[in-house]
Amino acid sequence: MAVALVLLLAPWAVLVVVLAVVVGVGRRARPQNTPVATLLAARRHENLTSALALAGGLAVAVLLLTADAAALPGPPGGLTAVSLLGAGLAALLVHAVGELTWPRPVGVVRHASLRRRTMRAIGGRRVALAGATAALAALALVVFGLTADATGRAVPHPVTPLAAGEGYVSGASGPYPGWAYGLPLLAALTVVLAVGAGVLRLVVRRPAVAGTREADDLALRRTSARRVLAAVQLVVGGTLAAVLLVAAAALGNAGWAPAAWGAGGLALVVGTASLVAAGTAIVPPPGPPAAGSPAAVPPAAVPPAAGSPA
| Domain ranges for the chain | 2-104+120-284
Say what the pLDDT of residue 220 is. Answer: 84
Distant-in-sequence, close-in-space partners of 39: CB < 8 Å, separation ≥ 6: 209, 212, 216, 220, 290, 291
pLDDT tens per residue across span 1-36: 444 444 444 555 555 555 455 455 444 544 444 456
**Cα separation of 80 and 270, whole Å?**
19
Give the CB-side neighbour count of residue 152, counting CA atoms within 13 A.
13
pLDDT tens per residue across span 60-103: 888 887 765 555 566 777 788 888 998 999 899 989 988 888 76
**Cα separation of 223 and 205, whole Å?**
15
pLDDT > 90? residue 252: no
Least confident residue range of 38-42, 133-137, 175-179, 287-291: 287-291
Say what the pLDDT of residue 269 is. Answer: 94
**Cα separation of 219 and 152, whole Å?**
47
Say what the pLDDT of residue 73 is. Answer: 61
Taking a C-beta distance cutoff of 8 angstroms, is the pair 78, 104 a contact?
no
| Count of all residues that appear for the chain in the document | 310
pLDDT tens per residue across span 280-293: 877 655 544 444 44
Q: In sequence order, which ranges of the chain are alpha helices (DSSP H)? A: 2-28, 35-66, 78-81, 83-100, 119-123, 125-147, 161-165, 179-205, 214-253, 257-282
**Cα separation of 218 and 201, whole Å?**
14
Global confidence as pTM = 0.76
124 pLDDT band, cuts 50/70/90, is confident
The three-state secondary structure class of 88 is helix
Say what the pLDDT of residue 4 is. Answer: 44
**Cα separation of 83 and 239, whole Å?**
9
52 pLDDT band, cuts 50/70/90, is confident
Average of per-residue pLDDT across 119-146:
90
**Cα separation of 43 and 46, whole Å?**
5
Say what the pLDDT of residue 70 is. Answer: 54
Give the CB-side neighbour count of residue 109, counting CA atoms within 13 A.
3
273: left (phi over 0), alpha (psi -120 to 50) or beta: alpha
Say what the pLDDT of residue 308 is. Answer: 47
